[in-house]
Structures are given as structure tokens and as C-alpha cells.
Amino acid sequence: MVSQCQQPKKAMQHLTARRVAGLLSRRGVAAFSSSGVKMASHGHGGVTEQTDMSVPLYWDRLDTPLPDRPYKDTLSDADKSLKQKEKGPWNSLSKEEKLALYRLTFNETYAEMKKPTGEWKTVLGGIFFFIGFTGLVVLWQRYYVYPPHPRTLDDEWQAMQVKRMLDMRVNPVEGFSAKWDYEKGQWK
């Protein structure tokens, strides 16, 4: 349960990955989907582990820099002596000790949090895949669902329609009929 508190962001990434795995299962990637099934039938009586929100939590977030508690709150003896040394002048701390103190309080540095995940490739790939799939669906619709065209869309009907619009002098100043040369009987 402590590890759940510490890594909500990693859990989010796992959720994304699982959703993607759900998509990928269409292509028959059996490994992902079978592991998903295994996790669902764990047999805890349907109760999943939840983070205890009544105690201060730790998080790695770019927008909220200071979590409610330090990362490691159960300190070993070496850690405790280091924390004691921290109460003195900091010039006496070596570089490794300073880094160790940072890692006691924080899990990931900002640089590590901002590390690119490459998730955008999955997202973009998924988008294109589904657009392509939608294209196939639309194509099938065109042949199996749509009724025949109304006769007003035939070329001959459209030609008759254009002729009637020109005869009526539709928009003769700047628009439709303005582009027709009435003397020569052709478009300008």
C-alpha cells in the first residue's frame, strides 16, 4: 500500500498502457490481454488495494512541488544519523550526502519527472489506426447502407439546374451569373 501511495503517476501510466493493450489485443497480442485477465481474477473477493487517503501522501508532480510527506519516512539508522548531520552546517555535508538527503525526501528529480515517455507515439499511432478503421467502416457503409442517390444529383439534372439558374440571372452583379458570358454562351 505504501508503494501505491508513492507512485500514482506510474499507476496512471500503467492504466494508459493497459488501455493501449486493450486496443492492441485486436491485433492478437495475447500476452497483454491474458495478463489483464489474470489480474482481474485475483480472488481478493473483488476488493482491490486502495491508497489510504486519510494519511499524508507522497507524490511526484511537476505542478505541486512539495508533497505532504517525505519519500522515505521509515529511516534506517544510517539515514537517521544523516538527518542529524543535516541539522548542522550544510557546508560539512559531502556531495554524496547531499544527494542521499535529496533522495530521502524525494523520489524523482524534476529532470527525471520530465523525462519524455514516448507516449505520444502510442497516442498518434492509435489515432491513425482508428481513423483508418473508421475509413473502412465508412467505405462499407457506402456500399451496404446508403440508399441510391436522388436524381437531383445526376450530371444531367445538375446541368439543367445550372442552365435554369443562369436563365433566372441568379446573382448577376458579383456572383453566379456574373461569371457567365451571355453573348458567347460560355463561362468567362
What is the nearest approach in angstroms of another protein to the Cβ of residue 163?
8
Pairing of strands 180-181, 186-187: antiparallel
- Which residues are CB-contacts of 46 (< 8 A; sequence separation ≥ 6)? none
Given the complex with another protein, which of 140 and 182 has the nearer CB atom? 182
Please report, as ranges, the residues that interact with another protein according to CB under 8 A: 164, 167-169, 172-174, 178, 182
What is the nearest approach in angstroms of another protein to the Cβ of residue 171?
11
Given the complex with another protein, which of 61 and 169 has the nearer CB atom? 169
What is the nearest approach in angstroms of another protein to the Cβ of residue 167?
4
**Residues 25 and 32: beta-carbon distance below 8 Å:** yes
Enumerate the β-bridge partners of residue 181: 186
Q: Residue 105 corresponds to which cell in the numbers above?
A: 525526501
What is the nearest approach in angstroms of another protein to the Cβ of residue 89?
20
| Element at 187 (helix H, strand E) | strand 186-187
What is the nearest approach in angstroms of another protein to the Cβ of residue 169?
6
Given the complex with another protein, which of 115 and 169 has the nearer CB atom? 169
Among 117, 128, 129, CA closest to 16: 117
- Which residues are CB-contacts of 109 (< 8 A; sequence separation ≥ 6)? 102
Given the complex with another protein, which of 55 and 178 has the nearer CB atom? 178
Given the complex with another protein, which of 130 and 182 has the nearer CB atom? 182
**Residues 62 and 114: beta-carbon distance below 8 Å:** yes
CA distance 48 to 1: 11
